[in-house]
Amino acid sequence: MTPVRTGSDSDWVLADGKLTALSLLFKMIGKSIETTLDNAERLNGELNSFLSIERDHAVERAKQLDSLDDELTLKGYAIAIKDNICTKGLRTSCGSRILQNYRAHYDATAVERLNAAGAIMIGKTNMDEFAMGSSNESSAFGPAKNPWDTSRVPGGSSGGSAVAVASGVVRAALGSETGGSVRQPASLCGIYGLKPTYGRISRYGLVAFASSLDNIAIFGREASDIAKVLSVIAGRDTRDSTSADVPVPDYTANLGSDIAGRKIGVPRALFGEGLDDEVRLKVETAIENYREMGAEIVDVELPYAKYGIAVYYIIATAEASSNLARYDGVRYGFRAEDTDALRKMYFKTREEGFGAEVKRRIMLGTYVLSSGYYDAYYAKAQKVRALVKKDYQKAFESCDAILTPTSPSVAFRIGEKSDDPLAMYLNDVYTVSANLAGIPGISVPCGLSQEGLPIGFQLVGNFWSEAGLLNLAARYGGQFPLGAKPSLFAD
């Protein structure tokens, strides 16, 4: 017999008035989801973390879960999804005017798997336009704001998802990573952010930016939140030829295991110029904390890491110029009005539909792929990319994970770097090389600055080492919790 709603307090009973375990289950799930939705709506006016809050969708999902009596891994688990990950029937704008009213016709594989596990998607989160940015300021719908200080950026490009987790609205959220777009905002917002091995999570349904670098990635309030979600969404998908046919472990199984004897590599050369002194101090303290926990600290070298930014901004822009060619005003999305010729319509649509940062990257990418420059830029960048990967493989011969800062500074003020693209790009100086190599990394909070802003370090591991990274992160968080919450927190 189907439960029916009896009032505005979300109580649900059977038609004959008798409560059952299922109706009580929905009462718990339903109330929890409605509280989550209320918090999301209440905070969104200040934080702008969600581009859409899907109340009807979330409540309907809770009703569907009420009808299931089987145990699901994430039953009733509220989650937020970055707005470049397709959700059937719901808006997927990529933070861009050119896709402002686009509604996806299918779910991404990661979303399908979350649904099958009983998770409830409550909304689509704000992001830098087409995931191109490090501050969330390139969004066509205004920047998301850091819950620790709303005058500051949350990082990008997955800033909205980071804010949804950091503000306590949800415990976990999906983002995407091309050059640090989950780890960097995780660091600036005081939460955990995991970029998996390339191919660990299917990219089917992730709107492409740079296909050889893109990953669906995960934010969590704790490392255990990421482990739960990763266990559900990882694995081979026949619809994504780049997804790997590698066994998926239970990532929650070893989160409490001892780390004594684990070797953590530290590339001291990367702790020099450009790194904020407060960040350096907190990260060096984290290194010593690991030593006290029984880990062995070893020195490693990554000589080609210093070329990471240059290589990344050649390869990523080249792939972006190709991937974004499909947005022409013909097939779907925004189309400019008042045009009397096809070529003029193409030009005006892209001129009006794309923001400044996306245009900049399309032009850079087109240039490095053009005749006469392909070998000098793109081909050479691919060769250096192979050397970056080789550096990591050599380093992992002497360590289990490599520890560096995640971001060179704490969250900067909104507008502070908007007119200086190079300064903005350097925010990813510590993160891009893991994307170039295709290896996993996780950002871990390790303290607050004198201004009360979060600082994080990152652990980078060899291929398919997510379980080990999650355990190192969980052990650190258990021993050295951040011990503070942002002023804008849902709880």
pLDDT at 211: 97
pLDDT at 15: 39
* Assigned domain for 1 exists: no
What would the pLDDT profile of 93-151 be if each residue is shown by its tens digit? 999 999 998 999 999 999 999 999 999 999 999 999 999 999 999 999 999 999 999 99
Stretches where the chain sits below pLDDT 70 are 1-28
Tokens coding 144: 């998301």
* Assigned domain for 156 exists: yes
Cβ atoms of 300 and 395 within 8 Å: the answer is yes
Q: What is the rounded distance in angstroms from the CA atom of residue 312 to the CA atom of residue 262?
A: 31
Q: What is the rounded distance in angstroms from the CA atom of residue 32 to the CA atom of residue 40?
A: 12
pLDDT at 67: 78
pLDDT at 5: 32
pLDDT at 333: 85
What would the pLDDT profile of 459-484 be if each residue is shown by its tens digit? 999 999 999 999 999 999 999 999 99
The set of catalytic residues is 82, 157, 181
Q: On the CB side of 317, how many CA atoms lie within 13 Å of its CA?
A: 26
What would the pLDDT profile of 422-469 be if each residue is shown by its tens digit? 999 999 999 999 999 999 999 999 999 999 999 999 999 999 999 999
What CATH number did the domain enclosing 111 receive? 3.90.1300.10
pLDDT at 27: 55
Q: What is the rounded distance in angstroms from the CA atom of residue 159 to the CA atom of residue 134?
A: 8
* Assigned domain for 73 exists: yes
**pTM of the predicted model as reported, rounded to 2 decimal places:** 0.93
- Residues contacting 266, CB < 8 A, separation 6+: 287, 297, 298, 299, 300, 402, 403, 404
pLDDT at 28: 62
* Assigned domain for 93 exists: yes
Q: What is the rounded distance in angstroms from the CA atom of residue 23 to the CA atom of residue 404?
A: 49
* Assigned domain for 462 exists: yes
Terminal-to-terminal C-alpha distance of the chain: 35
Closest by CA to 33, choosing from 75, 95, 76, is: 76
Cβ atoms of 360 and 315 within 8 Å: the answer is no
pLDDT at 66: 82
Domain that holds residue 100: 16-304+386-479
pLDDT at 31: 76
Q: Which residues pair with 204 in a beta bridge?
A: none
Q: What is the rounded distance in angstroms from the CA atom of residue 108 to the CA atom of residue 112?
A: 6
pLDDT at 68: 78
pLDDT at 26: 47
The DSSP H or E segment spanning 297 is: strand 296-299
Closest by CA to 156, choosing from 206, 203, 202, 94, is: 94
Q: How many CB atoms lie within 10 A of CB 103?
A: 14
* Assigned domain for 253 exists: yes
* Assigned domain for 441 exists: yes
Domain count, the chain: 1
Q: How many helices and strands (H and E) does the chain possess?
A: 14, 13
